[in-house]
Structure 1
Amino acid sequence: MTTLIEKLAGIPTGSKLGAALKTRAEVLRLSEAAHDAVLVPRDPGGLSHALRAALAARMCRHLGSAALVAHYDGYLAHSGDADVAALAQPGGVSGDPRQDAMARHADLLTLSPRNATRGDIEALRSAGVGEPDIVRLSELAAFVNYQLRVVAGLVLLRDAS
Structure 2
Amino acid sequence: MRAASRLGQALNARAEILRLSEAAHDAVLLPREPGGLSHGLRAALAARMCRHVGDEALTAHYESYLAHASDLDLATLARPGGVCGDSLHDAMARHADLLTLSPREATRQDIAALKTVGVSEADIVRLSELAAFVNYQLRVLAGLRLLKEVEAR
**TM surpasses 0.5:** yes
Distance in 1 (CA, whole Å) between partners of 2:25 and 2:94 is 22
Pick the aligned partner of 2:61 from 54, 62, 71. 71
Paired position in structure 1 for 2:43? 53
Max radius of gyration: which structure? 2
Q: Give, in angstroms, the shift of residue 78 of structure 1.
A: 1.9
Distance in 2 (CA, whole Å) between partners of 1:28 and 1:103 is 28
Paired position in structure 1 for 2:7? none
Q: Give, in angstroms, the shift of residue 80 of structure 1.
A: 3.4
Paired position in structure 1 for 2:33? 43
Question: How big is each residue's C-alpha offset from its partner over 1:50-99, in whole Å with a ceiling of 9 and x where there is no partner?
Answer: 00000000000000001100000111012232121100000000100000
SS in 2 for 1:44: coil
Unpaired segments of 5 or more residues in structure 2?
1-9
- TM score, norm. by length of structure 2: 0.90
Residue identity matched to 2:17: V
What is the aligned-residue RMSD (CA, Å)?
A: 1.1
Ranked by relative contact order (alpha carbons within 8 Å, sequence separation 6 or more), the top structure is 1
- TM score, norm. by length of structure 1: 0.85
Paired position in structure 2 for 1:90? 80
Aligned in 2, Cα 1:21/1:108: closer, same or farther, shift over 3 Å?
farther
Residue identity matched to 1:139: E
Paired position in structure 2 for 1:148? 138
Distance in 1 (CA, whole Å) between partners of 2:11 and 2:143 is 12
Pick the aligned partner of 2:104 from 114, 128, 138. 114
Distance in 2 (CA, whole Å) between partners of 1:23 and 1:159 is 23
How many residues are matched?
Answer: 142
Residue identity matched to 1:106: A
Distance in 2 (CA, whole Å) between partners of 1:160 and 1:80 is 43
Percent identity at matched positions? 75
Unpaired segments of 5 or more residues in structure 1?
1-19
Distance in 2 (CA, whole Å) between partners of 1:143 and 1:135 is 12
Residue identity matched to 2:114: L
Residue identity matched to 1:147: Q
